[in-house]
Amino acid sequence: MLEKDRIAYFYDGDVGNVYFGPNHPMKPHRLCMTHHLVLSYDLHKKMEIYRPHKAYPTELAQFHSADYVEFLHRITPDTQHLYENELRRYNLGEDCPVFDNLFEFCQIYAGGTLDAARRLNHKTCDIAINWAGGLHHAKKCEASGFCYINDLVLGILELLKYHARVLYIDIDVHHGDGVEEAFYFTDRVMTVSFHKYGDFFFPGTGDIKDVGEREGKYYAINIPLKDGIDDSGFTRLFKTVIAKVVETYLPGAIVLQCGADSLARDRLGCFNLSIEGHAECVKFVKKFNIPLLVTGGGGYTKENVARCWAVETGVLLDTELPNEIPDNEYIKYFAPDYTLKVSNVNMDNLNSKSYLSSIKVQVMESLRAIQHAPGVQMQEVPPDFYIPDIDEDELDPDERVDQHTQDKQIHRDDEYYEGDNDNDHEDGAR
């Protein structure tokens, strides 16, 4: 019998307690809801659960500019009026507001993705999950689209220390522009994004003609889709493209961003995927048996986000979940039927068969260009691509955590148990 995959799952209850503001669509509370579904289905018993370390400013500055990281560290809602120029420069404002505990929020979700990448690198797991991560719009020197720190870029940089080639796949309804931009000029990372494109839809990038430049030419793949794409059209195209990408590129590790705003009924999305259709993509990527880092991303109808990521946790554990949701702290959000399945809606699919076919043809042409490109050898980690290790001496000695201590940061009882062991209910504080 084949050995079961070892799954590491990263979660910190504090990540769900931040509040972007009353009318903001991003609700980190969806992460608590997801986690409690994972608990109620007993999935935590099949995984190793870790509380991630809070990423140090030095770690965040492996991609982001030091001045931007420092500003995020310093700014608070009470002091933001003193920094109007900086707020403009770093694109903080309506979409990316300054809120209480903003920097700690970034440290937690980025720390989860970094820890996930390191566990994969050290072969202590086969699949690592961080639903709090996946904030794919953040740029080197600015926030964008509800994203402040690009944990995906940081995680990929970490994986590149051990792997010659990393494949990034993005099924969020929005283009994964921050990740594509970070690796646009290198063949060390191939980015593949399936997203809505056109009609001034955010972020406005991700045309099929954008394929990368210089050494990165043909290593950025964009699948621009129109409103109403359904399960059959999406999954057929996904499987065809990803199968060819993996066969051609031979990645040593895969990062899969599972933004749930591509589901039907999303508050900001315009696709028509069911949870089964979305999860089918996760199932397909898992079958390659390549070290896999899975993150969340967008998703603005929070009860459906929680349903989706719980189902996909089950998929990664080869566990099918009963449709009836077990009782849990957030059960009222799943009324009136208290079930997992979310069906498609009755909407027009503007993606004709000929349109999807033309996309497939263009992508296959790009991939053929890689196969026949002179001098592009699939060599092992090239010596000229150097990513500096963190200098432990520069870290605040009070904040330093050795690997042994990090490894011991497994579950805190009040976050991972229910019933008699669940401290959440004792004072009603959480």
End-to-end CA distance of the chain: 43
Q: Which residues are annotated as a binding site for a divalent metal cation?
A: 172, 174, 261
**Residues of the chain below pLDDT 70:** 1-2, 372-430
390 domain-assigned:
no
* Secondary structure class of 192 (helix, strand, coil): strand
- For 379-419, the pLDDT digits (tens) are 555 443 344 444 444 444 444 444 444 444 444 343 443 43
Strand bridging mode 253-257 / 292-295 = parallel
Q: What are phi and psi of 18, to 5 degrees?
A: -80, 155
* Secondary structure class of 429 (helix, strand, coil): coil
412 domain-assigned:
no
Residues 6+ apart with CB under 8 A from 9: 38, 44, 47, 48, 49, 50, 128, 129, 130, 313
pTM: 0.88
253 domain-assigned:
yes
- Dump the DSSP string for 106-143: HHHHHHHHHHHHHHHHTTS-SEEEETT---TT--SS--
Q: What are phi and psi of 344, to 5 degrees?
A: -70, 170
Q: Which residues are annotated as a binding site?
A: 95, 145, 172, 174, 261, 300
pLDDT (0 to 100) of residue 4: 79
Q: Above pLDDT 90, what percent of the chain? A: 83
pLDDT (0 to 100) of residue 399: 43
70 domain-assigned:
yes
pLDDT (0 to 100) of residue 342: 83
Asked whether 325 and 335 are in contact (CB, 8 A), the reply is no
List 137, 163, 195, 278, catalytic entry: 137
pLDDT (0 to 100) of residue 420: 39
Query: What are the structure tokens assigned to 174, written together?
Result: 């929005």
DSSP state of 341: -
Domain count, the chain: 1
58 domain-assigned:
yes
- Distance from C-alpha of 391 to C-alpha of 319, rounded to nearest angstrom: 41
- Distance from C-alpha of 376 to C-alpha of 45, rounded to nearest angstrom: 44
* Secondary structure class of 13 (helix, strand, coil): helix
- Residue 103, domain CATH: 3.40.800.20
Known catalytic membership, residue 122: no
Asked whether 221 and 192 are in contact (CB, 8 A), the reply is yes
20 domain-assigned:
yes
Q: Which residues are annotated as a binding site for substrate?
A: 95, 145, 300
CA-based radius of gyration for the chain: 21
154 domain-assigned:
yes
- Dump the DSSP string for 26-62: --THHHHHHHHHHHHTTGGGGSEEEPPPPPPHHHHTT
Contacts by residues 68-75 (CB-CB < 8 Å, ≥ 24 positions apart): 68/140, 68/141, 68/142, 69/149, 72/102, 72/103, 72/106, 72/148, 72/149, 73/103, 75/102
Dihedral sign (CA 415, 420, 423, 424): positive
Q: What is the dihedral of CA 59, 60, 63, 67, to 10 degrees?
A: -120
- For 143-165, the pLDDT digits (tens) are 999 999 999 999 999 999 999 99
Residues spanned by the domain of 126 = 7-369
346 domain-assigned:
yes
- Distance from C-alpha of 151 to C-alpha of 373, rounded to nearest angstrom: 31
* Secondary structure class of 168 (helix, strand, coil): strand
